[in-house]
Amino acid sequence: MHDGSGRIEVRQLSKNFGSVRAVANLSFTVAPGSVTGFLGPNGAGKTTTLRMILGLVTPSEGTATINGMPHDKLGNPARVVGSVLENEGFHPKRTARNHLKVYAAAIGVPDRRVEEVLAAVGLTEAGDRHAGGFSLGMRQRLALATALLGDPQVLVLDEPANGLDPEGIAWLRSFLRDFAKQGRTVLVSSHLLAEVEQTIDQVVIISHGQTMYYGQLADLRNAQRPRVLVLPSDHDALSTALREEQITEIEPADDGRLAVMNTSARLVGDIALRAGVAIYGLEERHADLENLFFQLTSGQYTAAPPQQLGVPPQHPQDKGNTGWGGQR
Amino acid sequence: MGRLIKAEFRKILSTKLWWGLLIIALLVAGTWAGMLSSVFDDLAAELSRSEVMRLAGVRLNEISFSVLFLTRAINIATIFPMLFGGLAIASELGRKTITTSFLTAPNRAMLLGAKGITYAIWGAIYGIAIIGAATLGIVIGSGGDHLVGFSTWLAIAAAGVLSCVLWTLLGLGVGALIGSPVGTVIVLLVYGLALGPISDLVFTGMAGGDANVAGALPNGAANGLTGSTAADTLADEIQANATGMSKVSSELLEGFQDTARLAAGGLGSFGLLASAAIFFAWAMAFLALGLWRTQSRDIT
Ligand SMILES: Nc1ncnc2c1ncn2[C@@H]1O[C@H](COP(=O)(O)OP(=O)(O)OP(=O)(O)O)[C@@H](O)[C@H]1O
Ligand SMILES: [Mg+2]
C-alpha cells in the first residue's frame, strides 16, 4: 500500500474566483517520504490550492494529481489521501464516533478502525459527545481522525495546528515525521514558518497565488549567510581590525551592535581580543527564516516575475536580488 | 455504491431529523384523515344533493367516500418527505460535511447516485408510514363506515408511496440547486403549502373545473396521481350502484368526476397515468438539475 508512490504533482495550476485570481500558475511536486510545508500569508491561495488537489475546487487552468491521477480517478480516494481542511464541517448533533462510522462505511473499513483512530488522536473518551460541543482543538483532532480512517499514503493538512494546545502541536509534529518516515507523503500548509520549521524537509512559499520559493528547507537555510551580532566597547577599532582581516561586510545593527557577515563568533572574538577591544555581547545568527519568509512574501516581491517552475528550485537571490538576509 | 448507501443510512440514522419529520408527518396524516372523516356528513350531504346522485338514485351509504380523505391526508403529509429530501444535500452543503462526503466517495456522481437511491428508499418508508397513519385516522374518525375496498385502498396506497418517493427526490433536487438549508425549506414550504395549491385553484377556476395547466404543474400532477384513483373509484361505484344510470348523461358523470377529483384534492388533473408521468418528469427534472449543480459546485 505505502510503496512510496504517493506523489503529489501540481502543474501550472490557476484558479479565478470571478475577478479574483486566487492561484496563478503554480507548480510543485511533493515527493513521498517527505514533509512539505506550504507557506504563505493570509489569502495567498493555500487553501484554494489544497482544495484543487483534493478535487473540491475545479482549476481554471492546469492540473493537480496524486499518484499521477486526478482525485476523482483514484478509485477509493480516502485510501490514498486523507485530509484535514480549514473550517471542516461536522454535523453538530452527530457524535464523534458516529461521524467516523459514517465515513468508515463510505470508505469500506471495519468499524473497529473508528476506535483505532479515536485512540490515535486522543478522543476515545469524548467519542460519544456531539461534535457541536467540541472545542476548536478537539474538532481539529476529529478531522485528523477522519483523515486517518482509510490509512492513506498521503496526508494533506490545511493549518492543522490551528487550535491545538502545545502538547497537541508537539504530538502532531512527531506524528507527521513518523508518517513520512514510513515512506508516505505529507503536505502541510501554514502561514507561520516557525510553526512547521522543525517538521518539514521541503518548502513551497507562495504569495498572491504565485510561487516565491520552492525547494529544500536546508537550502533556504544555507542560502542565508551567517551573521555575528557583536556589541564592542569601540565600534571603530573593531571595524578596522576586522577589515584588516579581510572581513569587510559590517553593518550597524540594533541596540548599538554591529552585524558582521560571513564569519563566526569565535573569529570575531579572537580579532577583538588582539585589537584590545572589549566585547559586551556576542551572538551568532544563522538562518533567520521567519524574517526571510516575511520578506519573500511581502509586497516587494509580488511584482517580480514568477520563477521558472517545475524545475529544481531556484533561489530568489540567484536572480541578483540583494539585501535580504543580511539586512537588518 | 453499496458502501456509500450504507454511509448515507448511517448519516440519516445518527441524527434526529428523520424521526422528527416522520412523527409530525404521521400526526398530520392521522389527524387530517380522522378529522375529515368525522366531518364527512357535510361533504356527503353536498354530494348527495348533486344531480348525478339524485337522477341515478344512488344510496350514499354504499359509496366509499373515505377514499377522498385518504388521498387528502396523503397529499398534505407529502410535505414532510419533501422537506426531508430537500435537506439531504442542502444541509450537507450548509454544514460543510459535503467536503468529507466528497473526499470519501470515488467521485461526485457516485455519491449523488447513492444519495438518490437512499432518499428514494426513505421516501417509500415515509409513504408507507403516512398511509398507515392516514388509514388508521380514517378507521377511527369514521367509526368504520364508508371504508374502501382492499384493492382500491391498495391502488391509492401505491400511488401515495410513489408520490412520497417522487416528492422526496424533487425536494432533494431543489435543495441541491439552492444549496442552503433555510432557503430550501422556505422555497419548498411556500410552494407546497401556498403557491402550489393556490395556483391549482386559480388555473382550475379559469378552466371551469376541466383538466388544465394546474395538472401539468408539480403540485397538481402529484395530487392527480393520488386523487385520480379516488375520483375514478367513486365514479365507478356510482355507475355500478346506480339504479337509474341510463338517466345519467355522460356529461353529468364527467362533471361529477371533476367534483370528486376536486374533493380528493386533484384539481384539474389529467387522470392517473398522465399525472404519474408528469409528476415523475418534474421530480426527475429537479433531481437532474440539482445533481448537475452539485457536480460542478466549488466546495470552498
Ligand atoms: N469561494 C471563493 N469566492 C471568491 N474568492 C475566494 C473564494 N475562496 C477563496 N477566495 C479568494 O482567493 C484568495 C486565496 O484564498 P485562500 O483561502 O486560498 O487563501 P489562504 O492562503 O488559504 O489564506 P489563509 O491563510 O487566510 O487561510 C483570497 O483572495 C480569497 O479571497
Ligand atoms: Mg487557508
Please say which residue of A266, A285, A304 terminates a domain. Answer: A285
**Pair A171, A261 in one domain:** no
The 3-state secondary structure of B71-126 reads: HHHHHHHCHHHHHHHHHHHHHHHHHCCHHHHHHCCCCHHHHHHHHHHHHHHHHHHH
Q: What is the CATH number of the domain that holds A265?
A: 3.30.70.100
**Pair A259, A278 in one domain:** yes
Identify the three-state secondary structure at position B256: helix
**Pair A61, A178 in one domain:** yes
- Asked if B106's CB is within 8 angstroms of A77's CB, the reply is yes
Which helix or strand (DSSP H or E) is residue A247 part of? none
Neighbours of ion ligand 2 (CB under 5 A): A 46-47, 86
**Pair A240, A158 in one domain:** no
Compute, in angstroms, the gap from residue A45 CA to the centroid of ligand 1. Answer: 6
| Total-model pTM | 0.83
Candidate from B24-33, B66-75, B81-90, B185-194 with smallest mean pLDDT: B66-75
Give the per-residue pLDDT at B90: 95
Give the per-residue pLDDT at A226: 74
In chain B, where are the structural domains located? 2-295
**Pair A199, A231 in one domain:** no
What is the total count of domains within chain A? 2
CA–chain centroid gap for A187, Å, is 8
- Closest CB to B97: pick one of A76, A91, A98: A91
ipTM: 0.86
Per-residue pLDDT tens digits for A85-117: 987 789 999 999 999 999 999 999 999 999 999
**Pair A12, A76 in one domain:** yes
Give the per-residue pLDDT at B275: 87
**Pair A252, A200 in one domain:** no
- Asked if B296's CB is within 8 angstroms of A103's CB, the reply is no
Residues of A in contact with B300 (CB under 8 A): 17, 47-48, 51, 56-57
> CB distance from B246 to chain A under 8 Å?
no
In this model, does residue A162 exceed pLDDT 90?
no
Give the per-residue pLDDT at B245: 56
In this model, does residue A322 exceed pLDDT 50?
no
In this model, does residue B40 exceed pLDDT 50?
yes
* Residue B252 binned pLDDT confidence (cut-offs 50, 70, 90): confident
Give the per-residue pLDDT at A2: 46
In this model, does residue A15 exceed pLDDT 70?
yes
Decide if A94 is inside a domain. Answer: no
Give the residue with greater pLDDT, B179 vs A2: B179
Best of B104, B110, B295 to substitute, by most chain A Cβ atoms within 10 angstroms, is B104
What is the percent of chain A where pLDDT is above 70?
86
Give the residue with greater pLDDT, A296 vs A244: A244
Average pLDDT over residues A155-170: 89
Give the per-residue pLDDT at A303: 39
In this model, does residue A304 exceed pLDDT 60?
no
**Pair A191, A281 in one domain:** no
Per-residue pLDDT tens digits for B18-33: 999 999 999 999 998 8
Give the per-residue pLDDT at B45: 61
**Pair A211, A259 in one domain:** no
Q: How far is A119 from chain B (nearest CA, A)?
A: 20
> CB distance from A59 to chain B under 8 Å?
no
Domain containing A21 equals 8-80+152-220
* Residue B146 binned pLDDT confidence (cut-offs 50, 70, 90): low
In this model, does residue A319 exceed pLDDT 70?
no
Give the per-residue pLDDT at A301: 40
Q: What is the CATH number of the domain that holds A59?
A: 3.40.50.300
| Separation of alpha carbons A102 and B12, rounded Å | 10
Give the per-residue pLDDT at A307: 47
**Pair A176, A276 in one domain:** no
Question: Residue A20, class by beta-carbon neighbours within 10 Å (0-12 exposed, 13-18 middle, 19+ buried)?
Answer: exposed
Q: Helices B79-95 and B17-38: crossing angle, nearest 10°?
A: 160
Q: Where is mean pLDDT largest: A14-23, A278-287, A293-302? A: A14-23
Give the residue with greater pLDDT, A116 vs A218: A116
Q: Listing from the earlier edge strand, what are the strands of the sheet with A61-66?
A: A20-30, A8-17, A61-66
Compute, in angstroms, the gap from residue B168 CA to the centroid of ligand 1. Answer: 35
**CA distance readout (Å), B228 to A304, B14, B275:** 73, 38, 8
Q: How far is A29 from chain B (nearest CA, A)?
A: 21
Give the per-residue pLDDT at A324: 36
- Asked if A105's CB is within 8 angstroms of B3's CB, the reply is yes
Decide if A100 is inside a domain. Answer: no
Decide if A60 is inside a domain. Answer: yes
| Separation of alpha carbons A255 and A198, rounded Å | 29
Contact indicator for A188, A35 with CB cutoff of 8 Å:
yes
**Pair A215, A229 in one domain:** no
In this model, does residue B51 exceed pLDDT 80?
no
Per-residue pLDDT tens digits for A225-256: 678 889 999 988 999 998 988 888 888 887 88
* Residue A292 binned pLDDT confidence (cut-offs 50, 70, 90): confident
